[in-house]
Structure 1
């Protein structure tokens, strides 16, 4: 681990490991299987990149997208780490060269798609090499409980049988309890060390507004923002219409969806990565694993289909740790359409899972409690405190003493033996004379009809708030039945009071976040960004690969004028000092002396 710390500083330019990185690296170096649950931007990549540099031989990284492979390899090369990728974009000669260099032991990391990795020819090739670690990125794709299940990932479970003595690492930013258990089973991880980091991204401000003249809302929001952004739409037509509307208002943007030619999509994505386009308007076909650290905002023009998708997509903002914005435009009609789309799927079991996940997303959109708290509780990271950096915290809805209503709901869940979903629970609370209720004698329960004075919608809202607050959870492995959590015990025992929210009528987007941004010289920051872009164009790499916005901000705060000072900047290692230090120090010195 002393060597790992040395690599962290000398190669990657970081003084300290982030939460969990040291523990994960230590376990991998002891040949243990590992499951890593960290938020986007939480530092998952270093969990396998540093062991790859310490272990003998080769580390194989399973990656889902060609563009992601290239970006990660480009970034590693700027740090002086020998890495390559193998995919269909390589010519036969380039492929031969990579294979030969693998055979000669020149690489520490090889990025490959799951489809190619599981080809018999490729497996045989690996069996003739020294492979020390296999890292499966976006590991939630192996699980049918996951939001982005892929059949090709399912084959990865065979790796443990083929390479029984090689540790396997699964990494994901988006996995609920059911998905985590399934990842472990599907990858055949043997007594894995599981690290679950905090899913909190405190630098991202969460906003939700009711959808009304959505194009005007999107334009107004974008006009208030600086830097790169992504706007997600649920249809190609909306992408086309919105990108045209934004362009008419002088926004440097492009539309991206599966209806475009592959070469055009690749160019648009590359232009966005290289800061030649400020804003991408896209379907969800865009962005999984996009390794662009300086995205400053993400807008959801339509409601996502799951909390996992939403979390992953907003996670593309603020990966450098600097302030970022997330805006969700919510419309009940959109929700109804999405439920219909999901219901028409070919696989009934999969449809059921997706409907349950969408119900959680819909509840998030309707929420009147701290949005960060809802997200964290969904991923079983129960949080009692409010975040101070979402629309609910910055413009709080009115509260009332909801203790009795909460007790009615929780007691009814208990009386029904935690075996029913929310609508059935509401039917019992409201005393409905339904056939199933009468057949099971649920009309004889003490909680039957105790909520008859309130509407379905009222109780639906209360149940959602109790889920968001961590008193109830939805078990998607059992048809979305409601389960009590340990947090519910004090409420049921009348040992706790609970404040709940009344319906919101308006939203104030003008309130300032309680999260303070780093103070730095904005004029110098602009000059450093200009230099960074110039270097990136010369080297044909994305600007953030040269240095992240966070690194430039640290320069604009500390004004390093020597190589020693420059090495103390966040994200500057020895290789980057040698490559870029002189030019950046010259700009800083000139700025100070003018």
Structure 2
């Protein structure tokens, strides 16, 4: 392995491999098919990049994530390694030219999505490339039992026939035993060497806290652990809101989500990477390719969609080996909110059929036609015309995309995008001079809180309805505001495009793919139930719950999670706690939060003791939510 270590040092400036990277690389160099299950932060990419650099020829990397492909290509190019990716809406000529470059240009890596392999001419061109290794990243997508099944991944196995002497390596960061077996079968791996790294992260303390006031709990944690932190939120609006709230409390915070322009993403990222911002408030768009070793705390303030995603996001803490914290803040309403966001919006077979049928009608595609045609598409108009709930309809279209029935252009945007380019106090002045616009402007400001910081999609129909006017009047008002230099306005006739990969066949198409819809919905429901179980179970070690989900059988509790810490601590008796609260309140009225802080109590201990005192008439509460001794 000396040559491998020299390659590692030369291009990546690392002295040694992390287990089991060296064994995986050795397997690949011996020409063996290889399966690598390595949790996030384990260094999966080096397992195919190092052996590819040690051999003549080109490594073909199949990955479903455009952002990750771009990130890896950029990182390789920084190391003077030639790499390219077939991403975006490239023309046939563009793809052909890139494949020529891959063949004759001395490139070492070619990244592409599995959907590209559905084009026979691309597969024919790949057969002529000097390929030394095929790496299948995010390999759980090949399994119908995986959390992100993509039928296009099934096409990869056909490459085995065309490249019989080329070793394949399948890599994933999260797969149960059933999914692992399915990956090997579906990819046609021949007697693969299988390497698994335990999901255990001994230095991460998994914490679950019930919190009514989540901002306050974040404040406590960021003060107690002032190192770099990531706070995961559910949507773009929350990124701006939580970041602003933390800044108002005196913390350095920035934000990151998919709606930011590249310059903003890069600027905010650098603030955090250089420790000029302690907290990065982000959606799950943040994280791919990020390897900041000194992240002290990762906080989720809403329930995640599944434990696979949670484990990967939580695992961005403590990569330097020092103790770190992965915290989930929950309150009773979270379960219902998460269920409505992730489960109740899953399309069933009937709804999927309606969306597919209406989509063909909307685009005026006749039965038996449409294949290979691209159509401009306005998602908002489509949903409005047929009264489809937007999230559920998008999930249906996304499912049709994953099944290969059609291809959605990758980015949806609203028909109208707005950004205020004057300060908020000047907006107030504008309203005073234009009183007829007041209701509509205030509606926009109430519903789109980040509109001063970024270009924001505005649902003009919704604004018109709330402002008790019509959509044409809202458009006219926005155009006037643009002319006056109040806002930047962008209007697009269509917010997307759709390429049909099959002819229109209505029920035949839906019946063929319905079994996969049912299966995927069942998986999502079970995953949601696993998340809820992790959040509410107060009788088991949190680390063990995660490890058991991934089919590991730990023999001991971790000793550092919220359950283990609570088990070690001696609970205070309610009478003792109530007495201490009475003595404290004799010095002056206090809120429950201040009582909790001063006495070092848990929220549950505080609430129970206060209720005890209230029921016995020893204390009362004033109009400021403070408690007073009677």
Normalised by the size of structure 2, how large is the TM-score?
A: 0.57
Cα 1:70–1:351 change in 2 (3 A) is closer
| 2:535 match | 365
| 2:147 match | 147
Contact 1:147 1:309 in 2 (8 A): no
SS at match of 2:207: strand
Q: Give the structure, 1 or 2, with the largest relative contact order (CA under 8 Å, sep 6 or more).
A: 1
Deviation string 1:235-260 (CA, Å, 9 cap, x unpaired) is: 444344323322333444444455x3
Q: Report the number of matched residues.
A: 401
Structure 2 Cα separation of the partners of residues 216 and 333 of structure 1: 17
| 1:345 match | 346
For 1:138-537, what aligned pairs fall within 5 Å after superposition? 138-257=138-257, 260=259, 264-275=260-271, 278=277, 279-288=279-288, 290-340=290-340, 341-346=342-347, 347-368=517-538, 369-396=540-567, 505=604
Contact 2:254 2:272 in 1 (8 A): no
Cα 1:384–1:168 change in 2 (3 A) is same
Cα 1:56–1:268 change in 2 (3 A) is same
Cα 1:313–1:268 change in 2 (3 A) is farther
Structure 1 unmatched runs, 5+: 400-502, 508-594
Cα 1:100–1:227 change in 2 (3 A) is farther
Deviation string 1:538-572 (CA, Å, 9 cap, x unpaired) is: xxxxxxxxxxxxxxxxxxxxxxxxxxxxxxxxxxx
SS at match of 1:348: helix
Shift of 1:133: 0.8
Shift of 1:128: 1.7
Cα 1:334–1:4 change in 2 (3 A) is same
Cα 1:322–1:150 change in 2 (3 A) is farther
Contact 2:41 2:291 in 1 (8 A): no
| 1:525 match | none
Shift of 1:227: 5.0
SS at match of 1:274: helix
SS at match of 1:207: strand
Shift of 1:311: 0.4
Structure 2 Cα separation of the partners of residues 154 and 269 of structure 1: 34
Structure 2 Cα separation of the partners of residues 390 and 268 of structure 1: 36
Structure 1 Cα separation of the partners of residues 86 and 60 of structure 2: 11
Contact 1:397 1:504 in 2 (8 A): no
Shift of 1:117: 5.0
Shift of 1:171: 0.8
Structure 1 Cα separation of the partners of residues 569 and 145 of structure 2: 36
| 1:69 match | 69
Structure 2 Cα separation of the partners of residues 152 and 289 of structure 1: 24
| 1:8 match | 8
Give the aligned CA root-mean-square deviation in angstroms.
3.4
Contact 1:273 1:292 in 2 (8 A): no
Structure 1 Cα separation of the partners of residues 294 and 112 of structure 2: 25
Deviation string 1:74-114 (CA, Å, 9 cap, x unpaired) is: 43344454434342399999978854542225222223333
Structure 2 unmatched runs, 5+: 348-516, 571-601, 607-630
Deviation string 1:468-504 (CA, Å, 9 cap, x unpaired) is: xxxxxxxxxxxxxxxxxxxxxxxxxxxxxxxxxxx99
SS at match of 1:396: helix
Contact 2:133 2:166 in 1 (8 A): yes
Structure 2 Cα separation of the partners of residues 60 and 162 of structure 1: 13
Contact 2:272 2:280 in 1 (8 A): no
| 1:495 match | none
Structure 2 Cα separation of the partners of residues 186 and 309 of structure 1: 23
Contact 1:64 1:114 in 2 (8 A): yes
SS at match of 2:209: strand
